[in-house]
Structure 1
Amino acid sequence: MYGLARRLGSFILVGGVATAVQYLLLIVLVELFGVFAVTASAVAYGGAAVVSYLLNFHVTFHGRAGHRQALPRFIVVVAIGLGVNTLSFALLLLFLPYVFAQVGATLVTLVSNYLLHQYWIYRPSA
C-alpha cells in the first residue's frame, strides 16, 4: 500500500511539472506567436508528454519496464490523451477563455492517464 501511495504522490508531482510545461507552452504559443489556441494546446500537450514520460519512467515507476516496452505503450496513451485533451479543449473553448478551457481539458484526461500509466505503460510484461 505504501508503494502505491508513493507512486501516486510522485505521479501527481510529475504531472504537475508536466502540466506547468504544457501551460507555459500553450500561453507562449498563443500570446507570443499567435498560434490558434486548439493547435497550441495540442503542441503543448505533446511537449508536456515528453517531460512526463522521462520523469515518470525514471522517478515514478523507476523503469520497471524498459523503454522498449514502455515507450510504445506511452505513445499510444499520449495519442489517446491528445485526442481527449484536444476534443475537450475545443468544446470548452466555445464557452471559456483558452486557459480555463485548458484547465477543464486537463481534468478530463487526468484519471484515464493515471490508470493507463499505472496498469499498462510501466508494468512489466508477465
Structure 2
Amino acid sequence: MLNHLPRRARQLVAYAFSGGVAAGAHYSLLIGLVELGGVDPVLASLAGFVLGGVVSYVLNRWLTFVATRTHGEASWRFGLIAFVGFLLTGMLMHLFVKLAGLPYLPMQVVTTLIVMVFTFAGHKFFSFAEREEA
C-alpha cells in the first residue's frame, strides 16, 4: 500500500501508525486506571507504558524497521531502550504531576512526545539495527 513512497517516508508513516496504536493502548489503560480504578496517575502512566511498549515492539518490528537482528537479540535491546523510556516517563510524570501539580492527561501527552523522540532513535539505531536499502 505504501510501497510507492520513498523508504524514509514509509518508515515514518509506519512508525506513526504503530505509535498511534501503542499510544491508544497506553492512554486507554492510563485513563481507565485513573478514572475507574483510582490509581495514582504516575503509576497508571507506567502501567500504560508497559502495555504500549509491548504493542510498539510487535508493530514496529513487523511494519516499521527492516530488522537485521533476531527476536532474541532485538528484544533485549528493545527492552533496554524501553526501560530507559520507562524511567524517563516516570521521572517526567512525577515532575509534572506530583511536583508541579499539573493535570495528568496533558502532561502525559508532553511526556509521550519527549520519550517518543528518544525511543525512535534508540530503536532505529540500537534495537533493530536496520540495514540500508536503496
**Fold shared per TM-score above 0.5:** yes
Query: Which residue of 2 is the match for residue 121 of structure 1?
Result: 127
Q: Indicate if the aligned counterparts of 1:86 and 1:105 stay in contact, CA closer than 8 A.
A: no
Equivalences for 1:6-21 in 2 at 5 Å?
6-21=10-25
Cα distance, 1:9 vs structure 2:
1.6
- After superposition, the C-alpha distances for 1:34-88 in whole angstroms (9 at most, x for unaligned) are 1111111111100110000011111112543220111000000110000111111
SS in 2 for 1:68: helix
1:24 is aligned to 2:31: no
AA aligned opposite 1:115: A
1:110 is aligned to 2:116: yes
Q: Identity of counterpart residues, as a percentage?
A: 34
Query: Which residue of 1 is the match for residue 92 of structure 2?
Result: 88
- After superposition, the C-alpha distances for 1:88-125 in whole angstroms (9 at most, x for unaligned) are 11111123211011011111111111101111111169
Which residues of structure 2 form unaligned runs of 5+? none
AA aligned opposite 2:112: T
Structure whose residues are more often helix by fraction: 1
Counterpart Cα distance in 1 of 2:130 and 2:107: 36
Any runs of at least 4 consecutive aligned residues in structure 1 with deviations exceeding 4 A, and if so which?
Answer: none
1:55 is aligned to 2:84: no
Q: Find 2:70's aligned residue among 66, 83, 96.
A: 66
Which residues of structure 1 form unaligned runs of 5+? none
Larger Rg: 2
Deviates further, 92-101 or 12-21: 92-101
Counterpart Cα distance in 2 of 1:15 and 1:64: 21
Counterpart Cα distance in 2 of 1:13 and 1:92: 27
Counterpart Cα distance in 2 of 1:10 and 1:124: 15
Query: Cα RMSD over matched residues?
Result: 1.7
- TM-score for both structures, normalised by structure 2: 0.86
1:36 is aligned to 2:51: no
